[in-house]
Amino acid sequence: MTLRIKSYCGEEKMKIYHGMQAIVEEQFALDYNCQKNDFENKETLVTIAKKQLGQRRFEETENFFSILIYNGKLVITANEALESWCREILAKKMTAEWGFEAQTLIMINEKLREFGYQIDEAHVYFLPFALNAEKGRQVEIIPKEDIPSYENDKRIEEAFEYEACKDDEIGTVIRNESGEILAVAGASSNSDKMWEIGIDSFETGKGYASKVVSRLAFEVWKLGRVPYYGTALSHLASQNVALRSGFLPAFCELRTIKTNC
Protein backbone atom coordinates (compact mmCIF):
# COMPACT_ATOMS: atom_id res chain seq x y z
CA MET A 1 0.00 0.00 0.00
CA THR A 2 1.35 3.43 -0.96
CA LEU A 3 0.19 6.42 1.08
CA ARG A 4 -0.13 9.95 -0.24
CA ILE A 5 1.23 12.27 2.39
CA LYS A 6 2.55 15.76 2.76
CA SER A 7 3.97 17.75 5.64
CA TYR A 8 1.52 17.58 8.53
CA CYS A 9 0.71 19.64 11.58
CA GLY A 10 -1.67 19.75 14.53
CA GLU A 11 -4.51 17.24 14.57
CA GLU A 12 -3.21 15.51 11.45
CA LYS A 13 0.07 14.74 13.24
CA MET A 14 -1.77 13.20 16.17
CA LYS A 15 -3.97 11.12 13.88
CA ILE A 16 -0.97 9.75 11.99
CA TYR A 17 0.98 9.12 15.19
CA HIS A 18 -1.91 7.21 16.76
CA GLY A 19 -2.23 5.23 13.54
CA MET A 20 1.44 4.30 13.80
CA GLN A 21 0.96 3.25 17.42
CA ALA A 22 -1.88 0.93 16.41
CA ILE A 23 0.36 -0.76 13.83
CA VAL A 24 3.22 -0.99 16.32
CA GLU A 25 0.93 -2.64 18.88
CA GLU A 26 -0.10 -5.22 16.29
CA GLN A 27 3.59 -5.94 15.72
CA PHE A 28 4.33 -6.20 19.43
CA ALA A 29 1.47 -8.67 19.85
CA LEU A 30 3.22 -10.94 17.35
CA ASP A 31 6.68 -10.40 18.81
CA TYR A 32 5.65 -10.95 22.43
CA ASN A 33 2.97 -13.63 21.94
CA CYS A 34 0.15 -11.56 23.37
CA GLN A 35 -2.98 -9.75 22.21
CA LYS A 36 -3.18 -6.21 20.87
CA ASN A 37 -5.70 -5.30 23.56
CA ASP A 38 -3.14 -6.23 26.23
CA PHE A 39 -1.67 -2.79 25.55
CA GLU A 40 -4.87 -1.09 26.71
CA ASN A 41 -3.71 -1.45 30.33
CA LYS A 42 -0.45 -1.00 32.20
CA GLU A 43 -0.37 -4.32 34.04
CA THR A 44 2.89 -6.26 33.81
CA LEU A 45 2.55 -9.19 31.42
CA VAL A 46 4.66 -12.38 31.20
CA THR A 47 4.30 -14.61 28.13
CA ILE A 48 6.00 -17.70 26.69
CA ALA A 49 8.27 -16.94 23.74
CA LYS A 50 6.87 -18.41 20.55
CA LYS A 51 7.82 -18.18 16.89
CA GLN A 52 5.03 -16.65 14.85
CA LEU A 53 4.66 -15.59 11.25
CA GLY A 54 5.17 -11.83 10.90
CA GLN A 55 7.48 -11.35 13.89
CA ARG A 56 10.39 -8.96 13.56
CA ARG A 57 13.52 -10.75 12.37
CA PHE A 58 16.83 -10.44 14.18
CA GLU A 59 20.30 -11.91 13.82
CA GLU A 60 19.68 -14.09 16.89
CA THR A 61 16.90 -16.26 15.48
CA GLU A 62 15.73 -17.79 18.77
CA ASN A 63 13.97 -15.37 21.09
CA PHE A 64 15.00 -16.92 24.41
CA PHE A 65 14.16 -13.85 26.48
CA SER A 66 13.20 -10.27 25.72
CA ILE A 67 11.58 -7.30 27.43
CA LEU A 68 9.38 -4.54 26.07
CA ILE A 69 8.56 -1.30 27.88
CA TYR A 70 5.85 0.59 26.03
CA ASN A 71 3.40 3.27 27.14
CA GLY A 72 3.94 2.49 30.82
CA LYS A 73 3.52 -1.28 30.35
CA LEU A 74 6.14 -3.95 30.97
CA VAL A 75 6.00 -7.11 28.83
CA ILE A 76 8.38 -10.01 29.43
CA THR A 77 8.52 -12.95 27.04
CA ALA A 78 10.73 -15.91 27.82
CA ASN A 79 11.51 -19.52 27.12
CA GLU A 80 9.48 -21.94 29.25
CA ALA A 81 12.61 -22.69 31.30
CA LEU A 82 12.50 -19.10 32.61
CA GLU A 83 8.75 -18.71 33.01
CA SER A 84 8.47 -19.35 36.75
CA TRP A 85 11.43 -17.08 37.54
CA CYS A 86 9.93 -14.32 35.39
CA ARG A 87 6.53 -14.56 37.06
CA GLU A 88 7.59 -15.14 40.66
CA ILE A 89 10.69 -12.97 40.89
CA LEU A 90 11.38 -10.65 37.96
CA ALA A 91 7.83 -9.39 37.41
CA LYS A 92 7.53 -8.54 41.11
CA LYS A 93 10.80 -6.59 41.24
CA MET A 94 10.82 -4.88 37.85
CA THR A 95 8.71 -1.89 36.80
CA ALA A 96 8.24 -0.16 33.47
CA GLU A 97 9.65 3.10 34.83
CA TRP A 98 12.83 1.66 36.38
CA GLY A 99 13.19 -1.53 34.37
CA PHE A 100 16.62 -0.87 32.92
CA GLU A 101 18.35 0.16 36.14
CA ALA A 102 21.83 -1.37 36.47
CA GLN A 103 20.97 -3.66 39.37
CA THR A 104 18.00 -5.11 37.47
CA LEU A 105 20.07 -5.72 34.35
CA ILE A 106 22.77 -7.42 36.41
CA MET A 107 20.18 -9.72 37.99
CA ILE A 108 18.73 -10.59 34.58
CA ASN A 109 22.13 -11.24 33.05
CA GLU A 110 23.18 -13.53 35.89
CA LYS A 111 20.02 -15.60 35.40
CA LEU A 112 20.45 -15.74 31.63
CA ARG A 113 24.01 -17.07 31.98
CA GLU A 114 22.63 -20.15 33.71
CA PHE A 115 21.09 -21.04 30.35
CA GLY A 116 23.97 -19.96 28.10
CA TYR A 117 22.56 -16.54 27.20
CA GLN A 118 23.38 -12.92 28.00
CA ILE A 119 21.95 -9.46 27.38
CA ASP A 120 22.74 -8.33 23.85
CA GLU A 121 21.23 -4.85 23.90
CA ALA A 122 18.91 -2.62 25.91
CA HIS A 123 17.87 0.22 23.61
CA VAL A 124 15.45 3.10 23.45
CA TYR A 125 13.34 3.41 20.29
CA PHE A 126 11.69 6.41 18.66
CA LEU A 127 8.66 6.86 16.39
CA PRO A 128 8.19 9.88 14.11
CA PHE A 129 5.73 12.48 15.30
CA ALA A 130 6.48 15.11 12.65
CA LEU A 131 6.60 13.76 9.10
CA ASN A 132 8.07 16.58 7.07
CA ALA A 133 9.79 16.31 3.70
CA GLU A 134 10.63 20.02 3.52
CA LYS A 135 13.81 19.57 5.57
CA GLY A 136 14.99 17.01 3.05
CA ARG A 137 15.18 19.02 -0.15
CA GLN A 138 18.95 18.47 -0.38
CA VAL A 139 18.50 14.76 0.15
CA GLU A 140 18.93 12.13 -2.56
CA ILE A 141 16.83 8.94 -2.41
CA ILE A 142 18.73 5.64 -2.67
CA PRO A 143 16.50 2.95 -4.20
CA LYS A 144 16.85 -0.64 -3.02
CA GLU A 145 18.67 -1.81 -6.12
CA ASP A 146 21.43 0.80 -5.61
CA ILE A 147 22.15 -0.03 -1.95
CA PRO A 148 24.68 -2.85 -2.65
CA SER A 149 26.95 -0.29 -4.34
CA TYR A 150 27.59 1.24 -0.89
CA GLU A 151 28.89 -1.99 0.66
CA ASN A 152 32.52 -1.24 -0.15
CA ASP A 153 32.41 2.01 1.84
CA LYS A 154 33.60 0.65 5.19
CA ARG A 155 32.65 3.89 6.96
CA ILE A 156 28.99 2.94 6.58
CA GLU A 157 28.23 0.70 9.55
CA GLU A 158 24.70 1.61 10.64
CA ALA A 159 22.73 2.78 7.61
CA PHE A 160 22.90 -0.52 5.73
CA GLU A 161 23.30 -3.96 7.25
CA TYR A 162 23.51 -6.33 4.26
CA GLU A 163 22.08 -9.13 6.44
CA ALA A 164 20.17 -12.21 5.35
CA CYS A 165 17.55 -11.84 8.10
CA LYS A 166 16.37 -8.43 6.88
CA ASP A 167 16.59 -6.49 3.64
CA ASP A 168 17.90 -2.97 3.21
CA GLU A 169 14.89 -1.40 1.49
CA ILE A 170 15.59 2.29 0.88
CA GLY A 171 18.11 4.95 1.80
CA THR A 172 18.76 8.67 1.77
CA VAL A 173 22.04 10.51 1.34
CA ILE A 174 23.46 14.04 1.33
CA ARG A 175 26.64 14.72 -0.65
CA ASN A 176 28.91 17.71 -1.00
CA GLU A 177 29.67 19.39 -4.31
CA SER A 178 32.42 16.85 -4.96
CA GLY A 179 30.02 13.97 -4.50
CA GLU A 180 31.44 12.88 -1.15
CA ILE A 181 28.93 11.49 1.35
CA LEU A 182 28.17 13.79 4.28
CA ALA A 183 25.42 11.64 5.83
CA VAL A 184 23.55 8.50 4.81
CA ALA A 185 20.55 6.73 6.34
CA GLY A 186 18.91 3.43 5.51
CA ALA A 187 15.77 1.51 6.43
CA SER A 188 15.78 -2.28 6.84
CA SER A 189 12.69 -4.45 6.83
CA ASN A 190 12.97 -6.73 9.84
CA SER A 191 9.18 -7.06 9.62
CA ASP A 192 6.42 -6.31 7.14
CA LYS A 193 4.97 -3.59 9.37
CA MET A 194 8.02 -1.78 10.79
CA TRP A 195 11.27 -0.72 9.12
CA GLU A 196 14.21 0.25 11.30
CA ILE A 197 16.33 3.29 10.45
CA GLY A 198 20.11 3.45 10.78
CA ILE A 199 22.32 6.50 10.24
CA ASP A 200 25.97 7.30 9.52
CA SER A 201 27.05 10.94 9.59
CA PHE A 202 30.52 12.15 8.66
CA GLU A 203 30.01 15.86 9.36
CA THR A 204 28.84 16.87 12.83
CA GLY A 205 26.94 19.95 13.90
CA LYS A 206 25.54 20.84 10.47
CA GLY A 207 22.17 19.07 10.57
CA TYR A 208 22.91 16.57 7.82
CA ALA A 209 22.02 13.56 9.97
CA SER A 210 18.57 14.88 10.88
CA LYS A 211 17.87 15.77 7.25
CA VAL A 212 18.52 12.27 5.91
CA VAL A 213 16.62 10.63 8.79
CA SER A 214 13.65 12.99 8.50
CA ARG A 215 13.37 12.45 4.75
CA LEU A 216 13.80 8.70 5.10
CA ALA A 217 11.00 8.49 7.67
CA PHE A 218 8.76 10.40 5.27
CA GLU A 219 9.57 7.99 2.42
CA VAL A 220 9.13 4.85 4.54
CA TRP A 221 5.68 5.97 5.71
CA LYS A 222 4.76 6.72 2.09
CA LEU A 223 5.50 3.05 1.40
CA GLY A 224 3.02 2.01 4.07
CA ARG A 225 5.51 0.98 6.78
CA VAL A 226 6.17 2.43 10.22
CA PRO A 227 9.69 3.88 10.45
CA TYR A 228 11.39 3.50 13.82
CA TYR A 229 14.77 4.54 15.15
CA GLY A 230 16.71 2.79 17.91
CA THR A 231 19.87 3.60 19.79
CA ALA A 232 21.73 2.85 23.01
CA LEU A 233 20.46 4.38 26.24
CA SER A 234 23.73 6.30 26.65
CA HIS A 235 24.10 7.44 23.02
CA LEU A 236 22.85 10.98 23.54
CA ALA A 237 24.13 12.27 20.21
CA SER A 238 22.10 9.64 18.37
CA GLN A 239 19.04 10.37 20.50
CA ASN A 240 19.36 14.05 19.65
CA VAL A 241 19.41 13.18 15.95
CA ALA A 242 16.12 11.34 16.43
CA LEU A 243 14.56 14.29 18.26
CA ARG A 244 15.75 16.81 15.66
CA SER A 245 14.34 14.55 12.94
CA GLY A 246 10.83 14.79 14.39
CA PHE A 247 10.87 11.55 16.39
CA LEU A 248 9.69 10.99 19.96
CA PRO A 249 10.81 8.27 22.42
CA ALA A 250 8.21 5.49 22.17
CA PHE A 251 9.48 2.25 23.69
CA CYS A 252 12.45 0.43 25.18
CA GLU A 253 13.48 -3.11 24.41
CA LEU A 254 15.95 -5.64 25.79
CA ARG A 255 17.11 -8.55 23.66
CA THR A 256 19.43 -11.47 24.36
CA ILE A 257 22.03 -13.54 22.56
CA LYS A 258 23.81 -16.84 23.14
CA THR A 259 27.12 -16.58 24.98
CA ASN A 260 30.30 -17.56 23.17
CA CYS A 261 31.45 -19.95 25.89
Range of the domain at 32: 11-126
Tell me, yes or no, whether 23 lies in a domain. yes
The helix (run of H) or strand (run of E) holding residue 96 is none
Q: Are 158 and 242 contained in the same domain?
A: yes
- In this structure, is residue 20 part of a structural domain? yes
Model-wide pTM > 0.85: yes
pLDDT value, residue 4: 44
Does residue 119 sit within a domain?
A: yes
Q: In what order do the strands lie in the sheet with 226-232?
A: 45-48, 73-78, 65-70, 247-258, 117-128, 226-232, 194-201, 181-189, 167-175, 140-142
Q: In 3D, which of 253, 247, 254, 255 has the Cα closest to residue 17?
A: 247
Per-residue model confidence (pLDDT) at position 48:
98
Domain check: are 147 and 242 in the same one?
A: yes
Q: Residue 200 forms beta bridges with which residues?
A: 184
Residue 193 — pLDDT band, cuts 50, 70, 90? very high
Nearest 5°: phi and psi at 137?
-65, -25
Question: 120 and 144: one domain?
Answer: no
Confidence of residue 164 (pLDDT cuts 50, 70, 90): low
* Share above pLDDT 90 across residues of the chain, in percent, rounded to a whole number: 82
Q: What's residue 131's pLDDT? A: 85
Residue of 80, 75, 82 lying closest to 114 (CA atoms): 82
For residues 122 and 132, what is the distance between their CA atoms, to the nearest angstrom? 29
User: Which of 186, 176, 198, 187 minimizes the C-alpha distance to 242?
Assistant: 198
Q: Average pLDDT for residues 16-42, to the nearest whole number?
A: 96
Q: Does residue 74 contact residue 46 with C-beta atoms inside 8 Å?
A: no
105 and 139 belong to one structural domain: no
Q: Which uninterrupted H or E stretch holds 27?
A: helix 11-31
My answer on whether 132 and 244 are in the same domain is yes
Cβ atoms within 10 Å, residue 175: 15
Are residues 196 and 230 in contact, defined by beta-carbon separation less than 8 angstroms?
yes
pLDDT at 11: 77
